[in-house]
Amino acid sequence: MDKHLYSRQNTKTRILIAASRVFSEKGYENTTVQDICTACDANIAAVNYHYKSKENLYQTVWTHLYKINEETNKELFRDDLDPELQLRQFVSNRIKSTMDEGELAYLSKLISYELNSPSSSYEYLFETYIEERCNWILNLINRLSGKTLPESSLAHIFFFINSPIIRLNDHLANKATNDIDEDEMIENMYNYILGGIKHICSTRTK
């Protein structure tokens, strides 16, 4: 923990930065307000004053991290990109953010927690943040296939795209990434996902 980092921020910002990290490490249910206070040298009264509750702080963390993610990946969501190039960039961005040691990795980890063990905020988070990106992925799948696929095929492919990336979060939890060849992982996962999409499209539309 970098105490000097937190000392340069006002209390509200210190709490938000610390909460982003602690929630991403432990998940919502396993994180206590005291954990966050310890991480940023604040007290529970300060958390209650600035954020009212643990749940409200958690939702604020999502807003904070989502804005960072959107700004970092804004070129990815352009509609004029070739869909295969867009898929590759999507895979690349997800892997790089997962392996990042800073705030870029936090949102990816929080999404994994919510999908594996939904918190009390899941419905709100899904409607506010996750659903938009789900719809973007479904649209990308249709563009890759060159047709509008039935919902059963879309659901199958959606799971196929996200499952290995979510599992990557689980695999890398508390593990060093120094020995991982990031470029090789991106290339392998992209080819795996693209090949799977093409196979599913060919077998389900015959």
pLDDT of the residue at 173? 59
Contacts of 97 (CB under 8 A, 6+ apart): 69, 72, 104, 105, 107, 108
Residue 68 and residue 82: Cα distance in Å, rounded?
Answer: 24
- CA 55, 59, 60, 65: dihedral to nearest 10 degrees? 140
Q: Given the structure tokens 């970092």, which residue do they identify?
A: 72
- Between CA 183 and CA 187, with CA 186 as vertex, the angle to 5 degrees is 85
Burial (CB < 10 A; 0-12, 13-18, 19+), residue 180, is middle
- Report the chain (206 residues): mean pLDDT per 10 consecutive residues: 54 95 95 96 95 97 93 80 90 84 85 87 92 86 83 80 73 61 88 85 64
- Residue 6: the pLDDT is 47
pLDDT for res 182: 84
Q: Measured between alpha carbons, how far is 105 from 63 in angstroms, rounded to an integer?
A: 15
Give the model's pLDDT for residue 181.
Answer: 83
pLDDT value, residue 1: 44
> What is the C-alpha separation between 108 and 104, in angstroms, rounded?
8
Give me the domains of the chain, ranges plus CATH numbers: 1-52 (1.10.10.60), 63-204 (1.10.357.10)
pLDDT of amino acid 40:
94
Pairwise CA distance, residues 26 & 46, whole Å: 21
pLDDT per position as a tens digit, 100-131 = 878 888 988 898 888 888 999 999 999 998 88
What pLDDT shows up at residue 24? Answer: 92
